[in-house]
Structure 1
Amino acid sequence: MGGQLRAIPGAVLGWDLGAGLALAEALGVNAMVAAEVLPEIEAIAIRAINDELKAKSCDG
């Protein structure tokens, strides 16, 4: 979902979960399951992305 990020300079704020649900539907994933797990996955992924951005900004 790299093109569906909500971001400001230097940080990612979140995903477009509507796009995530549409992707899940297109892949045949149950909408209720996707609605339950996407926010959890989003939180972990956003934290990791922001940690990586912070590490890169400290390097250069």
Structure 2
Amino acid sequence: MTTADGKTRAFWERNLRFRTDSSWAGPEKGAPALMPAGMMGDRASVIFAAPDEIAKTVEARC
């Protein structure tokens, strides 16, 4: 996972969750939010403003 400020953090695929929140409390369109999860900091949720943003943002890299 690489954030807008250029910081990179590795997560196992099964520890990274993709969610949407189109309410007033969700992230702005085009600016997904990364929220830490799990007690050990090894999990995270990426929250998008709409479902169609997920496919536009996620790309596979090795």
In the superposition, the TM-score normalised over structure 2's length comes to 0.24
| Structure number having the greater helix percentage | 1
Question: Which structure's CA Rg is the greater one?
Answer: 1
